[in-house]
Chains A and B, each alone.
Chain A
Amino acid sequence: MEYRITFMTVSSSVVDPSAIVVMPRLPGSLSSPADGRPEYPSSTLIFVKVLRNAGYPIRVATPEDVRELSHHAADIWLPVAAFGLQVLAGGAGNILADVLTRVFGSFPRRKTVAHIQWNVQAPDGSTHEFTFDGDAETAIETARAFERSLGYGGDEH
C-alpha cells in the first residue's frame, strides 16, 4: 500500500518534556462543526486509555472539555499528540513504535490505514513533526526510523 510521510522540524517547542499530551485538534482533513470549541477525534479515548494502562504519562490538553468527534470511515485517525523527550529517553528508539503497536491492537482489523500527526521532542529539546498516512504496519516501522533519526536509541541511549 502506498503511504505518505513527512518529517518536518518545528521552529518553537510547545511540548511538555515529561508527558504525552493529546492536543485539541482534528488530524488531517477530518471535518468538524467548526464552532471553535476544543475537539478531538474519537480515537482519543482508546489512545489515552491504552497508553495510560501501559504506564505512559499521558494527558489530554483540555481534560475539562473533551469533545469527541467520530468519523465512521474504516481508517484510524489518531489524535494529534506531542511527545516530550523524557517519554522517549531510554526507550532505545522504540517508544513511538511501541505506542502504535499497543494502540493499533485495540482497533478492529479492518482499520488498516492510519493517519498520524505528532510533534516529537528530540534529545536536544528541538521539536519535530511526524506525519504519516498509510498502512498501519508500515507506520510502526516508519515511526521507529523517525525516532532513531532524532537521536534516540543511539550510543548515548
Chain B
Amino acid sequence: MAAMSTDDGRTRLAEVRRKIDAYRAHPADFSDGDLLSLRRDARAAIDRLDDEPEFGVAHATLDEVGRHVRRDRPQLCVLTEDGDNFAQECPVALGHIRLGFSIGAEIEESHCSICERDLWECPHIPGQVYDGQPVTRIITKARLFEVSLVDRPDFPDARITSQSIVRAEVEDAFGGPLPANVRPVCDRCLTPCPGI
C-alpha cells in the first residue's frame, strides 16, 4: 500500500545507511551479491521518498553507494550486453530518472481485504484501519487500457529497469571497435552527480 511506501522508504533508507557504515568499516565482509543488493535497496528507498524531506538524503545515499561499488568492485558496473548493443541496468544510474509507469485499467472484480466481500457492499473503507488491519482493495480482475510514463507512479517500484546504449556510442568512447575481451564499464559514479 502506498501509505506504507513512505514509511517503508524511510526504513529502507536507514537500513542502507547502516550497511554503508558497515561496509566502510569492513568492506571484505560484503560479497558482490551484498553490494548488488545494496544498490537495489538504495534505489528502492529513493523510489519511495519522492516529495518527502528525506529525498535529498536518499539521493546522496544512492550516489554514495554507486561510488563505493564503482571504486571498489568495477566488475559490478560492466554494461549489460543487449544483442548488438548494450544496456544500462544499474539501479544507481536509472534511479536518477524520476519517472515510473502508471497503468489505466477498468476494475472488473475486486474485494475487501478484511471480509472478502464486494467493497461497495461491505462496511470497510480502503485506507482505514480496523483492529490493526489496514483495509486494501484486492483487484482480482481488471482490463488494462493504457500505460503511461508519470513522474509519481502509484507503485513505487514500477520504474525503468533498463536503458539501451547503442554500440556506436560505446565504441566512440573507446576509440574504435571493442575487442572481444574488452567490457565497457560505466564510470558515471566516479564523477560528481549531474543531478536528478
Query: Are the C-beta atoms of B153 and A73 separated by less than 8 Å?
Result: yes
- Interface residue from A31, A45, A106, A108 paired with B2 (Cβ < 8 Å): A108
Against A, the Cβ 8 Å flags (1 = close, 0 = not) of B125-140 are 1111000000001010
Main secondary structure of the interface of B (DSSP, over half): mixed
Name the interface size band of chain B.
35 or more
Query: Are the C-beta atoms of A31 and B145 separated by less than 8 Å?
Result: yes
- Which residues of chain B have C-beta atoms less than 8 A from A53's C-beta? 125
Against B, the Cβ 8 Å flags (1 = close, 0 = not) of A69-80 are 111111100000
Main secondary structure of the interface of A (DSSP, over half): loop
Does chain A have a CB within 8 A of B152? Answer: yes
Does chain A have a CB within 8 A of B54? Answer: no
**B5 CB → nearest A CB, Å:** 6
Query: Are the C-beta atoms of B145 and A68 separated by less than 8 Å?
Result: no
- Which residues of chain B have C-beta atoms less than 8 A from A112's C-beta? 51
- Which residues of chain B have C-beta atoms less than 8 A from A68's C-beta? 106-107
- Interface set of B (CB-CB < 8 Å, partner A): 1-6, 48, 50-51, 102-107, 119-120, 125-128, 137, 139, 142-143, 145-146, 148, 150, 152-156, 158
Q: Which 4 A-B pairs have the closest CB atoms?
A: A106-B127, A108-B3, A108-B2, A72-B154
